[in-house]
Amino acid sequence: MHAEPALRRPSRILTLAAVALPLAVAVADDVRVRRHLHAARRDPLTGLAGRDALLARTAQLARAHRGLLHVLVADVDGLKTVNDTLGHAAGDILIAAVGRRLGPWAQARGGLAARLGGDEFGAVVVLPQAARLREVTALHTLLARPVDHGGQILHDAAGQALHPAVSIGTARATDLPDAADASRLLRGADMAMYRVKTGEEPLGYTATRHDAYTPTVHGRRPGRPGTHLPVA
């Protein structure tokens, strides 16, 4: 057997290195792609983003549009009754309808909508202060339209057209000293929504600094099931 010329051996080493490098790059790219897909994951029922995406978008907009930034939290009232009387499939249709309406509404106002979990939604938008009440009122009307599924209007147990009943609370970045703190704005909007939901405040109520700094219990605002605390 003839020995291979020594000058050819380095080329084989180079060939192996050339193969290994693209593989390493491909693996790194795959990791980046998977991380990107995970970060962009959307709620399968509504197609909306999740809480983390909402907080990131809020922080971004707070830096660029602090004077116009509004965060909203919307809660669907009576979902348990719908689930109990019409079934969970009907409840899912109702939640999906709210998501389909809220998403484009927020996007058209330079923002983002998200499903926070269960029957609760959040949105961040850029709005002139003078238009806030008009916009929130119009959104409330939009979300309360009858629910259509497959070209048919859904009806409740009494035979009436099913309308989502939604409570909406708002927080303005200009009302808070640390407006870049997205979670603080979201907490304020959540507290404002709760005050509207319980009838303590009317539709269009905007969170005060006190609302935004209401203490939480295990990350949940007072008044939520399981906290057993009165609203301060």
Mean pLDDT in consecutive groups of 10 residues from the start of the chain, 232 residues: 47 43 45 45 93 95 92 94 91 95 98 96 96 97 92 87 93 78 92 95 94 72 54 46
Q: What is the pLDDT of residue 167?
A: 96
Distance CA 50, CA 63 (A): 21
How far apart, in whole angstroms, are the C-alpha atoms of residue 179 and residue 67? 10
Active-site hit among 75, 119, 190, 211 = 119
Instruction: For residue 168, report the phi and psi dihedrals to the nearest 5 degrees.
Output: -125, 130
Residue 179 maps to which CATH number? 3.30.70.270
Q: Is residue 229 part of a domain?
A: no
**Does 198 share its domain with 130?**
yes
Structure tokens at 137: 């009122």
Amino acid code (one letter) for 26: A
Domain extent at residue 29? 6-39
Instruction: Determine, yes or no, domain membership for 107.
Output: yes
> Same domain for 15 and 60?
no
Together in a domain, 112 and 29: no
Q: Decide if 17 is inside a domain.
A: yes
Are 101 and 21 part of one and the same domain?
Answer: no
pLDDT of residue 220: 59
Q: Domain count for the chain, please give it.
A: 2
In a domain, 27, yes or no: yes
148 as an active site residue: the answer is no
- What pLDDT is attached to residue 225? 56
| Entry pTM | 0.76
First to last CA, the chain: 91
Assess if residue 45 is contained within a domain.
no
* Spatial contact of 128 and 105, defined as CB atoms under 8 Å apart: no
Residue type, 206: T
